[in-house]
Amino acid sequence: MALAATVFCRLPSFVRPVVDADEATFASIATLMNAGGKLYADGGVDNKFPGIYWTYAATFRVFGRYAMGAVHAIELLCVLATALILGACAERITQSERARWLAVLFYGVFTSVYYPKMIAANTEIFMMLPLAGAFALVLVKEKREWALVGAGALVAVGCLYKQIAVVTLPLPIVAGLLDRDRRSVRLLAPLVGFAAVIAAVAAWFAHQGTRDAWWHWTVARLFSHYGPSAWRLRDYLAALAIGAGPFLLAAMVPVVGAAGVVARIRTTTHEERLVLLWLLLSAIGVGAGGHFFGHYFLQVAAPLVLLGAIEIDRRVTRRLAIGVGVMTALPAIGFAVVAFISDPITQRFSGPPAGYDDVAAHVRKHTRPVDRIFVWGIGGPFYLSANRVPASRFVGFLRGLGRDRNEPPEHAWDAGPEVWPELLADFDAHPPELVLDTATADYFNFGNYPMKRFPALYGWVKAHCAEHTTVGNVDIHHCR
């Protein structure tokens, strides 16, 4: 039943190509990589570490360009594997098979609630598989040093999907510090495993010639632009209230269970305290960026459901079991329905805007599959729906910016002075057949950012694209 509930909650991802625009961004960059480009250079630029792009690119190589159904199937397998690992951890801590299946059920359900993007093939959901594996190794007593090395290595693998996974590294370090035997060796073991993985990845990017670009886009620009935009105290507290409140209500069952563990903190076991530490570190990770998007809470979901399963198994009665069943089934069914009927482009129940599908049809009619196009705006959904390769490494712009508030474009991490020469160099290497200006249709709140505000791009379009037509309110420029 627990596994079936997990599958049910993610069925909506199999009835549409994307659940979240971020998926389309990852898919577009993966397509550039498969076309021969180098990640963080001509093969696509984003502020994420490489794991998500490697996953998408490998999937597309096997199943075909923009094979999002295959990506969602792999994501489902990842969720099931994570749930089973957490279930094994719950049974190891409690010696109860019931706790195992409660953890599996809770992870399958409560990583799908809140809003539809929770079931997208995003970085967080892939990150949690190695982090769950790292915690499982922390509980291992046999060959302790090697288990802690493996835990550190798995935390590093989690970082390859999302950098903030690094906040979990203190967990195996503290576990080694608390051991009585060979304490100094076990303290260093996780650091050895972590450093080995990161060093190997850095060496790969050095060999590829993109190590500096990797650092620039995924570390430097995050700290200089993406983070400060949300670290103002008033904005931070507002985002916390708006983001955390709905998740805590939707996941009330494991939240109440975790509160029960905290209430008896003086009598908790060593393993339960390690889960509490994992939850604390994960909460720090969720709060570090200050944005509190719903899918960020996937990082706390794993330790939260583990604590919930432990406590509910400990206190279970017939009445409690009925209550837990109802409070688990209601959000599972409710949010699945919402995911089925909501639209990932408008993020509403109204469906895609009038003319949206006509844009993709126009692109397919006037270009060949080998041709490249360029989209001004959040381009991923258009590249994917048209099944075309981007003409630039920048598959989206002004990401992480409050576009609905008309924030200055220079506050965005992907609109700095280094962007425009690289964009024009991409156009020289792969001239676009079409340029789609989505600002004219205000897709993704781009109405405040017409191309005229960006002289380098606008000048190139005026010089190379003599004709244009309007389809679904999107200005489409036909280039020479």
207 burial via Cβ count (<10 Å: 0-12, 13-18, 19+): exposed
Among residues 386, 261, 254, 271, which one has the least CA distance to residue 309? Answer: 254
Q: Which residues fall within 8 angstroms of residue 77, CB to CB, at 6 or more apart?
A: none
DSSP 422-449: HHHHHHHHS--SEEEEGGGGTGGG-TT-
Q: Look at strands 372-376 and 474-478 and give their pairing.
A: unpaired
Give residue 136's identity as a one-letter amino acid code.
A
pLDDT tens, N- to C-terminus, the chain (480 residues): 778 888 888 988 898 888 888 999 999 999 999 999 999 999 999 999 999 999 999 999 999 999 999 999 999 999 999 999 999 999 999 999 999 999 999 999 999 988 888 899 999 999 999 999 999 999 998 888 899 999 999 999 999 999 999 999 999 999 888 877 776 677 789 999 999 999 999 999 999 999 999 999 998 887 776 655 666 777 777 777 888 888 888 889 999 999 999 999 988 999 999 999 999 999 999 888 777 787 888 999 999 999 999 999 888 888 888 888 888 888 888 888 888 888 777 767 767 777 888 999 999 999 999 999 999 999 999 999 999 999 999 999 998 777 888 888 888 888 888 999 999 999 999 999 999 999 999 998 899 999 999 999 999 999 999 888 999 999 999 997
Cα distance between residue 296 and residue 293, in whole Å? 5
Tokens of 317: 């009665």
Q: Where are the beta strands (DSSP E) in 225-288?
A: none
pTM attached to this predicted model: 0.94
Q: Which residues fall within 8 angstroms of residue 260, CB to CB, at 6 or more apart?
A: 311, 314, 315
Structural domain spans, the chain: 2-341, 356-478
Among residues 62, 173, 81, which one has the least CA distance to residue 133? Answer: 81
Cα distance between residue 273 and residue 267, in whole Å? 10
Tokens of 321: 């079991």
